[in-house]
Amino acid sequence: MSHVLILGGDGYLGWPTALYFSERGYQVTVVDNYFRRNACTELDTGMLYPVPTLLERAEIWQKQTGREIKVVIADLADPERMRGLFDGSLQYDWALDKAFTGIAQTIVHYAEQPSAPYSLLDYKHADITLSNNLRVTNNLLWAVRDFARDSHIIKLGTMGEYGTPDIDIEEGWLEIEHKGRKDKFLFPRQAGSLYHTTKVMDTDLMWFGVRMWNLRVTDLMQGPVYGIETEESRIDDRLNTIFNYDEIFGTIVNRFITQAVIGYPLTVYGAGGQTRGYLNIKDTLQCVHMSELTPAESGELRIFNQIMETFSVNQLAEMTQRVGVSRGLEVEIKSIENPRKEAEEHYYNPTYQGLQAIGVKPNYLTDEVMNSMFDIVERYRDNIREDVIFKGVKWG
């Protein structure tokens, strides 16, 4: 039974990924330091519903399915804690005295501060973002170099690494002809936030590790994700992932649906022409699983663009309004001054065939999918806090 180690296993994507692999018979260990929950408490962001601790969630999962997910609570920015996941010393961790079950064949790395607005709150949050994200990635590379060179690292990157260039975006690499000679380079990166910049730096660190130590790495350039429920969480509401709708941790589709439910005008930033590649949370799980089934070669940095379709902010607002109105809600769209510094009208044409070529079957954002999200958000309508929806964290 293959062992998958999920770093950042308490987060929006980490927990559903753990359930997904566990359901398919993998041995799963999740590691987290509760960064996301603690940041939500510190910034008073609110959540759609409370989420049990990792240990409680693992227990609920085991009771419901008989499957075990091992839990380690540790801060992986500390190199010794990271190395403890590979040399067995973390088996003495207070959280679980039998966490170490041998070297994992696959390490899924989500253990990062994931929010662009958070990274630009002020110098302290910028510092937390930089030091957490870069240290965790560097610590992981060194631990794999020293203990598990054959293991496959699947790392979550972001489409935002590329920014919005005026040329087509390739999957990670670009062949360049210069003065009559050709070579292949990482596609030019020009991130739009400090958070996205840490992802660019992660990619560089991993590319270095691949060149220097022949590591196997898949870097997933993911777009904004939407969704709540997955096939595995459906069996018990307490297994649903953390769902944020605030300005710092909420992503746009999740936010718009929540806003529509309480009659808060949809917050279109600026002109609303900002176009991104989107995907359903269920597809994140598929993408990671398909990457695991077809690992990168030793000495390969394999990059996929992890999106299924593109939308502008205006298109998402119109779709949310249409679906909301069909449910009898009053949904207003309101363009507000953009707190971010980003292009509001731009060219956007990314390539994203790689993941489908290895077997991912896209779930597109249809009215039906949106309706099923509305159904869940409406159940928790009374928990929704208007005051956290827009505070206007200025990027400039």
Q: Which parts of this chain interact with ligand USQ (CB under 6 A)?
A: 114-116, 158-160, 196, 222-224, 251-252, 255, 267-269, 274, 276, 313, 340, 342
What's the min distance (Å) between Cβ of 193 and ligand USQ? 7
In the complex with ligand USQ, the residue whose CB is nearer, 84 or 272, is 272
CA-closest candidate to residue 287, choices 356, 372, 199, 387: 356
Q: Are 277 and 310 in contact (CB under 8 A)?
A: yes
Q: Are 389 and 267 in contact (CB under 8 A)?
A: yes
Catalytic residues: 158, 195, 199
DSSP conformation letters of 108-130? EE--S---HHHHTS-HHHHHHHH
In the complex with ligand USQ, the residue whose CB is nearer, 115 or 240, is 115
Task: State the residue number with the nearest CB to ligand USQ.
Answer: 160
In the complex with ligand USQ, the residue whose CB is nearer, 213 or 269, is 269
What's the min distance (Å) between Cβ of 351 and ligand USQ? 14
Alpha helices (H) in the chain, listed in sequence order? 14-23, 35-42, 54-65, 79-87, 116-119, 123-147, 194-213, 252-261, 281-293, 313-326, 354-357, 367-379
In the complex with ligand USQ, the residue whose CB is nearer, 27 or 197, is 197
Q: How far apart are CA 185 and CA 187, in angstroms?
A: 6
Q: Tokens standing for 10? A: 């308490």
Q: Are 255 and 322 in contact (CB under 8 A)?
A: no
Task: Annotate 321-358 with b (16+ C-beta within 10 A) or e (fewer).
Answer: bebbeeeebebebebeebbbebbbeeebebebebbeee
CA-closest candidate to residue 230, choices 13, 49, 63: 13
In the complex with ligand USQ, the residue whose CB is nearer, 233 or 267, is 267
What's the min distance (Å) between Cβ of 268 and ligand USQ? 5
In the complex with ligand USQ, the residue whose CB is nearer, 39 or 159, is 159
Q: Is 242 left (phi over 0), alpha (psi -120 to 50) or beta?
A: beta
DSSP conformation letters of 253-313? HHHHHHHHHTTPPEEEETTS--EEEEEEHHHHHHHHHHHHHSPPPTTEEEEEEE-SEEEEH
In the complex with ligand USQ, the residue whose CB is nearer, 104 or 220, is 220
What's the min distance (Å) between Cβ of 162 and ligand USQ? 8
Q: Quick one: how far is CA 386 from the chain centroid?
A: 25
Hey, what amino acid is at 308?
M
What's the min distance (Å) between Cβ of 346 and ligand USQ? 10
